């Protein structure tokens, strides 16, 4: 089987999709010595260095100096040019890391990490909301399979798109065992701090987190809140705030691990999620987690995180303080985190994805 991938999600600064894509492909390279993997990258300014490629036993690599916006426009509006064209040979399968398809292949698979853009569009920035909603239905018409990151998202997908062949929708949980040993670096905060990791956006319930933190800080004035991630423009008016530090620079996995090792806890108050990778990363770093009580977290992570209702800041205040003040509770969270982190591995993820490939391309 000849399989095609767009590897641009981990060309430079990785977001959640880039972390998922890089770890999946590296794990596939570790278990599949037979299939041929065709890796594509394009950028007008950046080159994808070969020493960062997944070490597939059989691979082809194309890296072209093309303007990214022009290529994306052609792909997502006209479904052209197919990935096959860049490799000058037909591809049996093309797998996209997102709900928007990478054109090409006899068969095509989409990855749906979450459906917030469809179910809760008010939580998504207007340009992104329109971009995904306008293209997703036509993408499904061309797709031969869909991979979801959780059973919660699979059920949402089936309820909202009942005409898509249910046998071609597969839940494959990502792994969480990708963080290397921590690399010391000068942290952007001093003293004890709460940590949030992810895009600073409405979907992550940031306004509630900020309100709750001021209640926490009134009782623990030496405590800081560190937000690590890009701030979406519609939330910029919320800053600055006392005791809150924004850190928008890229963090390597090793530096993220060190940061998690130094934090008091991860606070993850999302209103909508498809998986919640930072929770697994925290578990692997022996870091307790306070998270919102939403279906996907109950499905995947219970009983590791301490859960709170995400509509009211006061339960978040009390949950954080209880974890700060109770050392036995923190130790129990760490114990449960170790159990959780052993459950979700990238090798298992790769095996399940490869099995799905073989169902889609017999």
Query: In this predicted structure, what is the pLDDT of residue 166?
Result: 81
Give residue 126's pLDDT band: very low, low, confident or very high (50, 70, 90): confident
Q: Which two tokens stand for residue 299?
A: 């499905």
pLDDT, residue 180, reads 95
Distance from C-alpha of 71 to C-alpha of 68, rounded to nearest angstrom: 5
Q: Which CATH architecture has domain 193-343?
A: 3-Layer(aba) Sandwich (3.40)
pLDDT (0 to 100) of residue 128: 77
Burial class from Cβ neighbours inside 10 Å (0-12, 13-18, 19+) for residue 55 reads exposed
311 pLDDT higher than 90:
yes
Query: How many CB atoms neighbour CB 146 within 10 A?
Result: 25
pLDDT band at 80 (very low <50, low <70, confident <90, very high): very high
Are residues 284 and 176 in contact, defined by beta-carbon separation less than 8 angstroms? yes
Q: Find the mean pLDDT for residues 300-310.
A: 95
Q: Is residue 36 a contact partner of residue 65, using CB atoms and an 8 Å limit? A: no
Read off the pLDDT of residues 205-217 as tens digits, 9 standing for 90 and up.
999 999 999 999 9
The residues, ordered by sequence, that sit 6+ positions from 35 with a Cβ below 8 Å of its Cβ are: 1, 2, 3, 58
193-343 and 2-175+345-360 share a CATH fold = yes
* Sign, CA torsion 53/59/64/70: negative
The pLDDT value recorded for residue 259 is: 98
| In the predicted structure, residue 130 carries a pLDDT above the cut 90 | no
Tell me, what DSSP letter sits at residue 231?
A: B
Instruction: State the average pLDDT over residues 25-44.
Output: 97
Percentage of residues in the chain with pLDDT exceeding 90?
91
What are the sequence ranges of the domains in the chain? 2-175+345-360, 193-343
What is the predicted pLDDT for the residue at 225?
98
Q: What is the pLDDT of residue 295?
A: 97
Tokens of 140: 């499904």
- 176 pLDDT higher than 80: yes
pLDDT of 48 higher than 80? yes
Alpha helices in the chain (DSSP H): 16-31, 68-78, 83-87, 116-119, 126-142, 151-160, 206-219, 253-262, 277-284, 295-300, 313-325, 327-343, 346-360
Answer whether residue 281 shows pLDDT above 80: yes
- Options 3.40.50.2300, 3.40.50.2000, 3.40.50.740, 3.40.50.1980; CATH for 2-175+345-360 is 3.40.50.2000
CA separation for the pair 256, 246 (Å, rounded): 15
Question: Quick one: pLDDT at residue 174?
Answer: 97
Residues with Cβ within 8 Å of residue 335, at least 6 apart in sequence: none
Q: Phi, psi at residue 56, to the nearest 5°?
A: -65, 140
Q: What is the pLDDT of residue 360?
A: 97
Residue 14, pLDDT score: 86
pLDDT given at position 129: 79
**HSE-CB for 338 with a 13 A CA cutoff:** 6
Compute CA distances 343 → 170, 172, 273, 339, 352, whole Å.
18, 13, 19, 7, 14
CA atoms within 13 A on the CB side of 295: 10
pLDDT of residue 198: 96
pLDDT at residue 131 tops 90: no
Residue among 73, 52, 70 at smallest CA distance from 61: 52
Please name the residue that has the structure tokens 């099995």: 355
Residue 133 is predicted with a pLDDT of 84
Burial class (CB in 10 A: 0-12, 13-18, 19+), 60: middle
Residue 148 scores a pLDDT above 90: yes
Q: pLDDT grade, residue 230 (50/70/90)?
A: very high
Q: What is the pLDDT, as a whole number, of residue 122?
A: 94
């Amino acid at each position: 089987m000849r399989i095609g991938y767009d590897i641009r999600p981990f060309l430079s600064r990785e977001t959640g999709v880039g972390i998922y894509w890089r770890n999946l492909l590296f794990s596939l390279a570790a278990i599949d010595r037979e299939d041929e993997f065709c890796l594509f990258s394009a950028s007008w300014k950046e080159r994808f260095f070969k020493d960062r490629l997944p070490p597939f036993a059989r691979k082809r690599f194309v890296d072209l100096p093309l303007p990214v916006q022009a290529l994306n426009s052609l792909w997502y509006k006209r479904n052209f040019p197919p990935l096959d064209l860049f490799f000058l040979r037909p591809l049996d399968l093309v797998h996209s890391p997102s709900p928007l398809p990478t054109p090409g292949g006899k068969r095509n698979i989409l990855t749906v990490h979450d459906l917030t853009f469809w179910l809760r569009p008010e939580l998504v920035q207007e340009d992104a909301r329109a971009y995904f909603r306008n293209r997703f239905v036509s993408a499904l018409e061309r797709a031969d399979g869909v991979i979801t990151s959780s059973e919660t998202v699979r059920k949402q997908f089936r309820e909202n798109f009942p005409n898509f062949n249910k046998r071609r929708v597969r839940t494959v949980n990502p792994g969480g065992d990708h963080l290397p040993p921590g690399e010391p670096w000068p942290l952007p905060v001093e003293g004890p701090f709460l940590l949030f990791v992810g895009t600073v956006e409405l979907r992550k319930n940031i306004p509630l987190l900020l309100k709750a933190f001021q209640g926490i800080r009134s009782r623990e004035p030496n405590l800081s809140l560190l937000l690590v991630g890009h701030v979406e423009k519609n939330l910029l008016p919320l800053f600055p705030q006392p005791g809150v530090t924004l850190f928008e620079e890229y963090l390597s996995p090793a530096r993220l691990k060190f940061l998690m090792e130094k934090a008091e806890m991860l606070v993850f108050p999302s209103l909508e999620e498809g998986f919640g990778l930072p929770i697994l990363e925290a578990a692997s770093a022996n870091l307790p987690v306070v998270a919102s009580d939403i279906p996907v977290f109950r499905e995947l992570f219970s009983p590791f995180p301490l859960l709170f209702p995400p509509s009211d800041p006061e339960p978040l205040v009390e949950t954080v303080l209880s974890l700060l003040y109770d050392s036995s509770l923190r130790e129990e969270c760490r114990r449960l985190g170790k159990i959780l982190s052993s459950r979700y591995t990238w090798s298992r993820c790769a095996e399940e994805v490869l099995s799905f490939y073989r169902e889609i391309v017999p």
